[in-house]
Chains A and B, each alone.
Chain A
Amino acid sequence: MRVDVRALGACNRLAERGAERAADALADLTGTDLAVEVTGASVASGEDLAEAFAGRESIGVSVGLDGGLDGEAVLAFDSQQADALLSLLPGGASMGRSAVTEVGNIALGGFLDGWANYLGQAIDMTPPRYFEADGAAVLPDGALAGDGVFLFESRLDATTTDLDFSIYMLPDSGPFRDLVVGKTATAATPGAEGAAEGTGDAGSTVVPYESLSTFASLAKRGSTNAADNIGMMTGLDTTVEVSRLRFVPLADVPAEVGVEPHAGTVFELQGEPSGYLAILFEEESAAAVAASMLPTEPDDPLGDMAENALCELGNVMTSGFIDGWANVLGTSIAHSPPEFVHDIGSATISPIVAELGRRQDYGFVIDAAIQTEGVQAQCDVYALPDERELAAALSRLSET
């Protein structure tokens, strides 16, 4: 079984459109504006997902799928937001569970309409089932089993209230694999930008399906190395937690970073694969992590001393990540010296997106959290490898 890496992009585009329909359906129901913030496709192992969802409590509605797609779809939100959700609904809190179930039904119906339209085939939904779940139990059945699953995640944001939802869809991988391979190899639906990518020189990005789970393990492997390196450099007990690797359209990466000021470092990667890696912190996190590495509190939280500290941190993190990848892929990858950035988040990453955008349309985002001796700092690692070189390395890996 071989899959085009870019086929994930086509699926991502579909998930995005489905999420927009879900947002419209919910907006009609609640009278609240809802916007689709981010849609990502991930290939993740059950173990990674279990870790990523640890400690979360969710309320969700699930439906089984049959027809054009087999599998399960779930609409979930944080249990702490239950009241906010209920207050938006006709009937309010008194409706409780049945109102949530209705929301799920309507949103998931909208979501799946998008897919059914594209597939030209109806998708049947089983009646919605309400549930409360701890941790990864919120995910569709089967997400935690096996070595690698496709998971689509969309986040909807209510513009007037603090409320966001996630939609997860786990298609049964057998039929879905056929869909990915079959549909994207031939389809060129008007407007389906992603779908058209399977044509042309698709051969160069085709990898064995099994390699995708290898790829998913790359993020995790890299983060362990990065944490070890930081620990060795600073002498501080450090953990880097990576939830998972997400696959997002390059043009959406700047929006993903957002317009808040960010500081961090950018590296060019040379080898197989080549590409770029950016480690970006929100200003507060950047200052906290830099201060934790400096002997005395700097006068300027993000001045020259902090810049040096963040560059050093970037250096060891990046070499940790790419050593991990090179080990998994059996290749050698080198990185440039760090370039410090401190500006509007999306602006800092735009030149990289432009550079890679000349030859590809998708990139990968690794969500990571760094913790050094009590200092908690969130960062995002944007790994933007050349997709053809990555596919080639993954392909070679499966042959040995």
Chain B
Amino acid sequence: MSHPSSAGGRDASGSARRVAVGVGDLAVVDGDAALTTSGLGSCVAVALVDPTTGARGLLHAMLPSADDSQSSRPSARPAKYVDSGVDALIDELGAAGASPNRLEARLVGGAEMLDLTAAVGPRNVERAERALADAGIPIVARDVGDGVGRTVRYRPNGELAVRAADGFERTL
């Protein structure tokens, strides 16, 4: 599931292709395609761009680290975890012509939706910060935490539009 899946629809502007990124998934595009991911709760979205080439990538990861997994087998799905997902996203952007030295990051999600579950949202955010710091990638904007679900659209101009469940929208 690490390949982009085209939703086939048109962007709201009527001009661009839209690539939907599912849970535990990532995608890389360049040109005029928009990347979207919906229903971010405790999951975290990491958006990376090389401003020079315009290559953009979006990761929607569910859990902080494969090391935390209680499963006895390695996951065939790196984008399920923040740490392996960030690595995979950087690799795919590199393959698409982006330079790791130029990448900048935007971070969204990691909400605390439920009291019942261990605070996975904040741990996802913390792990993403660490993974990006390790890779030397600056975080230029963020909309994380709180108890609200979010939907994300990564526009071709590098802007990240974040819409919360209550309808509030901001651009990072």
Shortest B139–chain A CB gap in Å is 22
A202 and B117 CA atoms in complex are apart in Å by: 26
Partner of A344, one of B69, B70, B72, B149: B149
Residue A54 at the B interface, CB < 8 A?
Answer: no
Within 8 A of B (CB), among A174-200: 191, 193, 196-197, 199-200
Do A199 and B117 contact each other (CB < 8 Å), given the known contacts A255-B23, A259-B38, A343-B41? no
Q: Chain B residues with Cβ under 8 A from A346's Cβ?
A: 23, 38-39, 41, 149
A254 near B39 with CB under 8 A, answer yes
B39 near A351 with CB under 8 A, answer no
B42 near A354 with CB under 8 A, answer yes
Known A-B contacts: A193-B75, A344-B149, A351-B114. Give 20 more (CB < 8 A).
Answer: A33-B8, A159-B7, A197-B73, A252-B23, A254-B39, A257-B39, A276-B116, A276-B117, A343-B41, A343-B113, A343-B148, A343-B149, A344-B150, A347-B150, A348-B41, A348-B114, A351-B120, A354-B120, A357-B24, A358-B63
A140 and B150 CA atoms in complex are apart in Å by: 41
A344 near B80 with CB under 8 A, answer no
B149 near A347 with CB under 8 A, answer yes
A251 and B80 CA atoms in complex are apart in Å by: 9
Q: How many residues does chain A have at the interface if contact means C-beta atoms less than 8 Å apart?
A: 43
Residue A285 at the B interface, CB < 8 A?
Answer: no
B165 near A261 with CB under 8 A, answer yes
Do A259 and B114 contact each other (CB < 8 Å), given the known contacts A344-B165, A346-B38, A347-B165? no
Partner of B41, one of A35, A252, A347: A347
A350 near B43 with CB under 8 A, answer yes
Interface range on chain B (Cβ under 8 Å from partner)? 35 or more
A sample of 19 inter-chain contacts (CB < 8 A) reads A193-B75, A201-B72, A252-B23, A255-B39, A259-B151, A261-B165, A267-B116, A336-B116, A339-B116, A343-B113, A343-B149, A346-B39, A347-B40, A347-B150, A351-B42, A352-B117, A353-B23, A354-B62, A357-B24
A196 near B39 with CB under 8 A, answer no
A254 and B40 CA atoms in complex are apart in Å by: 9
Q: Chain B residues with Cβ under 8 A from A196's Cβ?
A: 73, 76
Within 8 A of A (CB), among B69-112: 69-73, 75-77, 80, 111-112
Shortest B33–chain A CB gap in Å is 16
A159 and B1 CA atoms in complex are apart in Å by: 21
Shortest A163–chain B CB gap in Å is 14
Do A358 and B68 contact each other (CB < 8 Å), given the known contacts A344-B149, A345-B39? yes
Residue A341 at the B interface, CB < 8 A?
Answer: yes
Select the residue from A258, A336, A344, A345 with max chain B CB neighbours within 10 A.
A344
